[in-house]
């Protein structure tokens, strides 16, 4: 992942005011543990129950990860935050500097969730793209597999620890678009070796992410009782058109890309972030958008690099949006924010520079009243730079959980203490789906 500053993202977020003001936006109810409207159970997150949709944004300080529990207990893991460098994270890690690998933190977290569902399988494991803060990389000192010649961290550790029904990424089976992914990223050969072994020896199902599909990820147990749709929006330059499962190709074809010697060194080559797989989750009136690291990176050179503008044309209004590319400078522009007009934006921060407010950021935050922000990390050095808009940040750190009530009419967002393992609630807020 490239290190970009957050200022556009949230600055732009503020342009959401216009988008939100034109819609019927019910006033949310704030529930603080121990405060009015709270109950004893609100001090800790209660167990998931059938009929609820959970989206857990797990903080590891090393990237992005979302664990989804569908209303029928089907489980899906999106990315596995396990970068190994701490460069640029000193402020974040001054609050909490985990001694465990990212995939260890994730594993321990989702194991507790699996106690709720009684399902010890990750039915779907989706990797949005091949950067270390989304799939993990490794040091020589990391543990080695007992099955074969690969190192355990990130995706490989998850595959080793849990039964996985279907593994979906943007490269299978050739891993050659828009360049040789195995040559460009050292973690990809390690991951492929591991996935190949589990495919051959334990029947792991593998697929390339299919833009436009509404069936690649689906409930496996009671789909008719709790209808949830996960629509694949974009990947590798293919974008859902909004009709059926039709897609349009916006990026150049492989043979048209003048890739450099290192694979991704030319301006005319799509960047890894913009190739991210993106999804929209729908449950009744509730919608959420998870866009990986999709961005507008390089659009000043090539208009086709603006992936957000194309996505904005088909996704529509959502209740929850995970900030694209951690809320960096090359993402979360007005086109997508005004179109999606989220009530809640979750920002999976993993670098101190996300966000780094300036005057423009602050001014727009000051008038941005239609969206609440929940961050997994906010470095104190950045917080001190805010002059306005801090009231819109409902949580500055911790795991963030979105729990949608049965049927999708209402949902709550929880910030959980990331230094505890008992799902202790720091803050919570209830919303009505639109």
| pLDDT tens figures, 64-77 | 999 999 999 999 99
Q: What is the rounded average pLDDT of the residues 90-106? A: 93
Count other C-beta atoms under 10 Å from residue 406's C-beta: 15
Is the confidence at residue 2, as pLDDT, over 80?
Answer: no
Q: Say if residue 397's pLDDT is above 80.
A: yes
Tell me the pLDDT tens digit for each residue of 351-382.
888 876 655 556 555 555 688 999 999 988 77
Tell me which H or E stretch contains 90: helix 90-95
Residue 8 has pLDDT above 70, yes or no: no
Query: Pairing relation of β-strands 164-169 and 122-126?
Result: parallel
Beta-strand runs (E) in 306-371: 320-322, 344-347
Indicate the range of 28-37, 179-188, 386-395 predicted with least confidence: 28-37
Using only C-alpha atoms, the chain has a radius of gyration, in whole angstroms, of: 20
Q: Report the 10 Å Cβ neighbour count for 405.
A: 19
Q: SS3 of 92, please?
A: helix
Give me the pLDDT at residue 87, please: 73
Of residues 33 and 89, the one with the higher pLDDT is 89
Q: Does residue 98 contact residue 44 with C-beta atoms inside 8 Å?
A: no
The enclosing H or E element of 194 equals helix 187-202
- Flag the least confident range among 18-22, 112-116, 216-220: 18-22
pLDDT of residue 165: 98
The secondary element (H helix, E strand) that includes residue 20 is helix 16-21
Please provide the average confidence, as pLDDT, over all residues in the chain.
87
Confidence of residue 267 (pLDDT cuts 50, 70, 90): confident
Give the global pTM: 0.89
Q: What is the pLDDT of residues 146-202, one digit of tens each?
A: 999 999 999 999 999 999 999 999 999 999 999 999 999 999 999 999 999 999 999
- Among 314, 325, 366, 320, which Cα is nearest to 341's? 320
């Amino acid at each position: 992942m490239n290190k970009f500053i957050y200022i556009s993202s949230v600055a732009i977020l503020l342009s959401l005011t216009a988008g939100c003001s034109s819609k019927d936006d019910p006033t949310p109810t704030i529930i603080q543990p121990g405060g009015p409207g709270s109950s004893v159970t609100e001090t800790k997150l209660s167990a998931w129950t059938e009929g609820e949709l959970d989206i857990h944004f797990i903080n590891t300080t090393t990237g992005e990860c979302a664990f989804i529990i569908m209303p029928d207990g089907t489980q899906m893991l999106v990315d596995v935050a396990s970068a190994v460098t701490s460069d640029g994270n000193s402020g974040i890690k001054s609050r909490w500097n985990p001694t465990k690998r990212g995939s260890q933190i994730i594993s321990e977290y989702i194991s507790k969730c699996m106690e709720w569902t009684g399902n010890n399988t990750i039915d779907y494991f989706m990797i949005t793209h091949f950067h270390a803060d989304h799939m993990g990389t490794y040091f020589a000192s990391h543990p080695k597999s007992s099955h074969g010649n690969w190192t355990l961290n990130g995706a490989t550790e998850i595959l080793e620890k849990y039964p996985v029904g279907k593994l979906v990424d943007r490269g299978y089976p050739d891993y050659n678009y828009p360049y040789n992914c195995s040559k460009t990223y050292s973690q990809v050969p390690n991951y492929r070796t591991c996935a190949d072994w589990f495919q051959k020896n334990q029947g792991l199902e593998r697929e390339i992410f299919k833009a436009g599909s509404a069936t690649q990820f689906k409930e496996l147990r009671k789909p008719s009782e709790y209808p949830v749709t996960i629509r694949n929006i974009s990947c590798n330059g293919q974008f859902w058109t909004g009709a059926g499962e039709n897609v349009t190709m916006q990026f150049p074809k492989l043979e048209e890309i003048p890739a450099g010697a290192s694979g991704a060194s030319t301006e005319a080559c799509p960047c890894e972030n913009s190739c991210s797989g993106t999804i929209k989750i729908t449950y009744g009136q509730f919608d959420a958008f998870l866009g990986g690291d999709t961005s507008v990176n390089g659009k000043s050179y090539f208009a086709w690099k603006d992936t957000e503008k194309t996505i904005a044309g088909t996704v529509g209004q959502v209740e929850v949006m995970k900030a694209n590319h951690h809320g960096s400078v090359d993402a979360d522009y007005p086109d997508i924010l005004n179109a999606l007009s989220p009530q809640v934006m979750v920002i999976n921060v993993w670098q101190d520079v996300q966000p780094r407010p300036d005057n423009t950021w602050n001014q727009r935050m000051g008038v941005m009243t239609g969206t609440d922000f929940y961050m997994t990390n906010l470095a104190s050095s950045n917080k001190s730079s805010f002059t306005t808009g801090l009231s819109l940040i409902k949580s500055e750190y911790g795991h963030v959980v979105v729990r949608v009530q049965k049927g999708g009419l209402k949902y709550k967002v929880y910030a959980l203490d990331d230094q505890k393992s008992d799902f202790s609630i720091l803050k919570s807020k209830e919303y009505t789906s639109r």
